[in-house]
Structure 1
Amino acid sequence: MAPDKNRATAAAILPLVGGAKNITSVAHCMTRLRLGLADRSLVDDDALKALPAVMGVVEDDTYQIVLGPGTVARVTPELEAMVAESGPDAEPRPETPEHAPTAAELAAQGAAIKEARKAKNATPFKLFLRRIANIFVPLIPALIGCGIIAGFNGLLVNLEWLPSITPALAAMASGFMALIAVFVGYNTAKEFGGTPILGGAVAAIIVYAGVANIEAFGQKLSPGQGGVLGALGAAVLATYIEKWCRKWVPEAVDVLVTPTLTVLLAGLVTIFGLMFLAGEVSTGIGTAADWLLDNTGAFAGLVLGGLFLPLVMLGLHQALIPIHTTLIEQQGFTVLLPILAMAGAGQVGCAIAVYKRLRHNTSIRTTIKSALPAGFLGVGEPLIYGVSLPLGRPFVTACVGGAAGGAFIGFFSMLGDKVGSTAIGPSGWALFPLLDGNKNLGLTAAIYAGGLLIGYLVGFFATYFFGFSKQMLVDLNADVDAGESPTARAEAEPTPAKAPATI
């Protein structure tokens, strides 16, 4: 997407979310533009969904606009610039006079929406998981870039090509992972309200080579012991120490005393406690993942692949991010991500079956045609929120496809052929450049491709034969105008639209 097109997309989005004054924060993840909004009722959902660049919208703790990988990273800074240019006095998008609600009505609508979302999603556990995700999600681009370089370098080494270049590529691929604890510490302090550089400074102790000369719990420490989990704990501790210091240290000496006490106290606890404890936890995570797939691989894959989409709906998938990162740090790849990626394969197969079954529903078929390419590349939100989830039963059959693909990959893990990913974020076909395992790359790629194929086929046939009741086919298999949102169409049908609420 050209720069002028990115700016045009941002310019189209801005008035539809209530203007610059209505935006309280702007951020993005791999696929979604995440906006904090002062008044949710000012958002025009239907107009947003109709924009060519928008694949869908999701309402969570922030208002999320699905733009897809690459696009979202380019549109976000354009929108941020527009919000900054508009200034604090910018007015929200004007409503048409005949539909303009009163201030009291807007306030009531906004309060109702806010309270409903709070009651549903703002549980302490989910809020904690979101904070953890906010720490690790910014690291994903570096994980992907370094992971692809590592995979390419491994291929060159195996083929014995360009031996003068491979050491340089190895340095590029490994440098970030060697210091990932520092970045985790920096982001953790930032997320928990501390000074980011102090969080990074305390976390840097973990990767410092000199810790090899220190003994704790009767054994010598090793650089990197505790990994990202230790860095996270160290930075959280540093943040609380810093906040305590800000309350009690006189302002005249705050600039000297507070950072010194923060690094000293948090550093001592990290060296003589957290590194050992977090190291034991990290080792346990790796051991548990290996045991699970070695002994119950097919069943574990079935469960993980089948439940991943519901976990995403509930926001619980964020708990897996530090686990993935720990496995990558320990073993060089995470064995869980390829299995979880099978959920997207089931979703793609499900969407194709919906396309075949609803031959006369122009709206849903148009949405599927536009969203399938992104689905094959692992961007599942358009198909989930635009097709399967509103329809209800197809969402369940998509999960069945994911379970079958996960069981296939898990079965090969039981045979000793592990399939892993050197980074987190991508799935579908986009995961191929990041694949790694304990056997040769060709076999690893073949197993992953087989899992995708199984997920596609089972998702398709499960949806084709069991995804619709007779009444659903009668209600949905009509000539619907392509301009109508499939979500809106599904919501017009009471039974399928409400089904996901029970999932």
Structure 2
Amino acid sequence: MSDDKNRATAAAILPLVGGAANVTSVAHCMTRLRLGLKDRSLVRDEALKALPAVLGVVEDDTYQIVLGPGVVARVTPEFTALADAERAAHPAPEPAPATPPPGAAAAPTAGELADRGAALKARQKARNATPVKLFLRRIANIFVPLIPALIGCGIIAGLNGLLTNFGVLPAIVPALAAIAAGFLSLIAVFVGHNTAKEFGGTPILGGAVAAIIVYAGVAQVTAFGQHLSPGQGGVLGALGAALLAVRIEKWCRRHVPEALDVLVTPTVTVLVAGLVTLFGLMFLAGEVSTAIGSCANWLLAHGGAAAGFLLGGLFLPLVMLGLHQALIPIHTTLIEQQGYTVLLPVLAMAGAGQVGAALAVYARLPRNRSIRTTIKSALPAGFLGVGEPLIYGVSLPLGRPFVTACVGGAFGGGFVGLFNQLGTAAGATAIGPSGWALFPLLKGNHPLGATLLVYALGLITGYVTGFLATYFFGFAKPALRDLNTADASAPAPTRQKHQPTTA
């Protein structure tokens, strides 16, 4: 039955994005189906957002359809299979016309919010097309495919910790420890592989160079007056080594005769990049990694409340600017060093502030049925850490509620940071989930119960503060009056439940 539902979702999406002939690439991350499209104008946005399974759409370097955790991993293969079958049956299909379905007119207020959200997203996309932000996006593309394994291994590590603490099933504890730690012990190889793939090199050569970092034999190598340690430099070293390998490989492709390319290019790439990695990158990346871990720990240990307040309050704007992608290697480095990242639970409070703000908008606009319908449909995803429908559909287009949502995130982050400063660190063993979905991945320097309690109280602080700030300061009186009467008499059509989340 579940497969039928996922297949039906894929079948409903495919014609609305212009059919298989309009799809050039298919991929997915934690929550989104990411499509490369030939002609953006063939997408029927309103009909797509009206599908029950679709939580929203976001347009970035690819067209991204938000389906939610778990669902997207099941819909993607069904979508790919249907697209392949359609291409096989119709080698040269006529593209679907880009006309909206009958009766697709939006209710006034939600429609205006959708337009505002679309305009804001378009302007933000243009601002994000800078070299630095495009580079950060490519860095994110390296790490995003690793997130499912990080989550799975993180949850297994948490389960293993519970069994160890309670002395239950001691025979299985070593097995679970091996399963949980295996991926992390080799994560540098996967980072090297993905880096070479993202930057136009041969993926296996990037992985081969990065594998040097985790090889036990590096302990026999001396660099900068000391023996290297297996894993020294971690993911940052692997990233640098693979980038260097790509540069060397491309140089070889240009200068090595074709007859010798198959022998010379891979040999020179691995040899030169490997030597530089051993006698330079591993040591330097190790120093940087150590500094990152020390800095994060010092920041929250000495200025936890203030640091948490700033981080929680600024995270939503960082997401808007695309700068949050720079944090992915930092999270991964902290997980490598300590087993968890202390930054993610603090940053997750931004989502709590967003949920609280949405609840306040719902309470303040009792007559605006279209906005209330949108909020009701988007809130479950918001509680699980999927914030795009609420951000681009409600708070950001309204203006002030976005600011008050940030206030909620700031107070939630400050709460978690304060307890870190007092000695109770709350961390996450993997990146990706937030909100309630982060609970299975929590870990800290105290028993799990204390960590869960700190995070839960932080969420409550974010919810309550975001609600109160938005309820009392989220609307100017004229705007509140207009929004509360604009479509009071209009029925809230079911197709509109995801309307405001726009690309």
Q: TM-score, normalised by structure 1?
A: 0.91
Is 2:477 the partner of 1:482? Answer: no
- Give 1:162's aligned residue: 169
Is 2:95 the partner of 1:92? Answer: yes
Rounded Cα–Cα distance in structure 2 between residues aligned with 1:408 and 1:118 = 33
**Structure 2 residue identity aligned to 1:76:** T
Rounded Cα–Cα distance in structure 1 between residues aligned with 2:331 and 2:266 = 32
- SS across alignment from 2:316: helix
Deviations 1:113-164 (A, max 9, x none): x997874332101110110000000000000000000011011111111111
- 1:61-460 residue pairs with structure 2 within 5 A? 61-87=61-87, 89-95=92-98, 119-460=126-467
**Structure 2 residue identity aligned to 1:263:** V
Rounded Cα–Cα distance in structure 2 between residues aligned with 1:191 and 1:81 = 25
- SS across alignment from 2:278: helix
**Structure 2 residue identity aligned to 1:481:** P
- Going from structure 1 to structure 2, the CA distance change for 1:389 and 1:149 (only over 3 Å counts) comes to same
Rounded Cα–Cα distance in structure 1 between residues aligned with 2:439 and 2:50 = 32
Segments of 5+ residues of structure 2 without an aligned counterpart are 103-120
Cα drift, residue 97 of structure 1: 12
**Structure 2 residue identity aligned to 1:186:** H
Deviations 1:399-443 (A, max 9, x none): 100000000011111111111000001111111111111111111
Rounded Cα–Cα distance in structure 1 between residues aligned with 2:465 and 2:100 = 52
Rounded Cα–Cα distance in structure 1 between residues aligned with 2:241 and 2:435 = 35
Rounded Cα–Cα distance in structure 2 between residues aligned with 1:352 and 1:95 = 35
- Give 2:17's aligned residue: 17
Q: Is the 8 A contact 2:50 2:498 kept in 1?
A: no
Cα drift, residue 171 of structure 1: 0.3
Cα drift, residue 361 of structure 1: 1.3
Q: Is the 8 A contact 1:61 1:121 kept in 2?
A: no
- Give 2:35's aligned residue: 35
**Structure 1 residue identity aligned to 2:476:** S
- Give 1:497's aligned residue: none
- Going from structure 1 to structure 2, the CA distance change for 1:439 and 1:490 (only over 3 Å counts) comes to closer
Rounded Cα–Cα distance in structure 2 between residues aligned with 1:115 and 1:363 = 23
**Structure 2 residue identity aligned to 1:361:** N
- Going from structure 1 to structure 2, the CA distance change for 1:7 and 1:490 (only over 3 Å counts) comes to closer
Rounded Cα–Cα distance in structure 2 between residues aligned with 1:97 and 1:207 = 54
Query: Once structures 1 and 2 are overlaid, which stretch shifts more, 173-182 or 34-43?
Result: 34-43
- Going from structure 1 to structure 2, the CA distance change for 1:440 and 1:116 (only over 3 Å counts) comes to closer
- Give 1:109's aligned residue: none
Rounded Cα–Cα distance in structure 2 between residues aligned with 1:442 and 1:175 = 26
- SS across alignment from 2:213: helix
Rounded Cα–Cα distance in structure 1 between residues aligned with 2:99 and 2:219 = 68
Cα drift, residue 459 of structure 1: 0.6
Rounded Cα–Cα distance in structure 2 between residues aligned with 1:155 and 1:327 = 22
RMSD: 2.2
- SS across alignment from 2:33: strand
Q: Is the 8 A contact 2:389 2:501 kept in 1?
A: no
Rounded Cα–Cα distance in structure 1 between residues aligned with 2:279 and 2:43 = 51
- SS across alignment from 1:34: strand
Rounded Cα–Cα distance in structure 1 between residues aligned with 2:234 and 2:84 = 38
**Structure 1 residue identity aligned to 2:457:** G
Rounded Cα–Cα distance in structure 2 between residues aligned with 1:374 and 1:82 = 27
- Give 2:114's aligned residue: none
Rounded Cα–Cα distance in structure 2 between residues aligned with 1:230 and 1:176 = 17
Rounded Cα–Cα distance in structure 1 between residues aligned with 2:216 and 2:431 = 27
**Structure 2 residue identity aligned to 1:222:** S
Cα drift, residue 3 of structure 1: 1.4
- Give 2:116's aligned residue: none
- SS across alignment from 1:170: helix
Cα drift, residue 489 of structure 1: 7.5
Deviations 1:181-222 (A, max 9, x none): 001001111111111111111000000000001100011100
Rounded Cα–Cα distance in structure 1 between residues aligned with 2:182 and 2:156 = 11
Segments of 5+ residues of structure 1 without an aligned counterpart are 100-113, 492-503
Q: Is the 8 A contact 1:60 1:117 kept in 2?
A: no
Identity of aligned residues (%): 77
**Structure 2 residue identity aligned to 1:482:** A
Rounded Cα–Cα distance in structure 2 between residues aligned with 1:97 and 1:338 = 41
Rounded Cα–Cα distance in structure 2 between residues aligned with 1:91 and 1:440 = 61
Cα drift, residue 62 of structure 1: 1.5
Rounded Cα–Cα distance in structure 1 between residues aligned with 2:23 and 2:158 = 40
Cα drift, residue 32 of structure 1: 1.1
- SS across alignment from 2:446: coil
Query: Once structures 1 and 2 are overlaid, which stretch shifts more, 205-214 or 347-356?
Result: 347-356
Q: Is the 8 A contact 1:432 1:445 kept in 2?
A: yes
Cα drift, residue 95 of structure 1: 4.8
Q: How many residues align?
A: 479
Rounded Cα–Cα distance in structure 1 between residues aligned with 2:323 and 2:285 = 22
- Going from structure 1 to structure 2, the CA distance change for 1:68 and 1:489 (only over 3 Å counts) comes to closer
Query: Once structures 1 and 2 are overlaid, which stretch shifts more, 121-130 or 276-285?
Result: 121-130
Q: Is the 8 A contact 1:385 1:487 kept in 2?
A: no
Query: Once structures 1 and 2 are overlaid, which stretch shifts more, 287-296 or 12-21?
Result: 12-21
- Give 1:8's aligned residue: 8
Point out which structure has higher relative CO (alpha carbons under 8 A, 6+ apart). Answer: 2
Cα drift, residue 67 of structure 1: 0.7
Cα drift, residue 81 of structure 1: 2.0
